[in-house]
Amino acid sequence: MNWIFLFIAGLLEIGWPVGLKIAQNPQSRLMGIAIAGFFICSSGVFLWMSQRTIPVGTAYAIWTGIGAVGTFLVGIYFYGDSSSLVRYLGVLLLVSGIITLKLAQ
């Protein structure tokens, strides 16, 4: 169950940078900050719950990895961030590291 909590925490981690992106627009600044705050707190709670049995270093690395990969993909697909083979290769290396951490557990 703690691995599920960690996965949920990682997915929620994607929400706060998106909230900060929304806050860049003056008309939606407060809403974006509220969204970011909600996702930071929610993600932190699930990370905390996952650390009951998952070592802190492993949990943190996987949490930030899921958040980084997810935010990368959201940036490309929803915000027009640049994409290239080299950038995708970098993300593939992150995913490989996350999988390796899980398998080494």
- Cα distance between the two ends of the chain: 14
Q: Can you tell me the distance from the alpha carbon of 21 to that of 44, in angstroms, rounded to the nearest whole number?
A: 20
pTM for the model stands at: 0.89
* 1 touches 52 (CB < 8 A): no
Q: What local confidence, expressed as pLDDT, does residue 46 receive?
A: 98
For residue range 4-50, list pLDDT tens digits in order: 999 999 999 999 999 999 999 999 999 999 999 999 999 999 999 99
Residue type, 2: N
For residue range 51-82, list pLDDT tens digits in order: 999 999 999 999 999 999 999 999 999 999 99
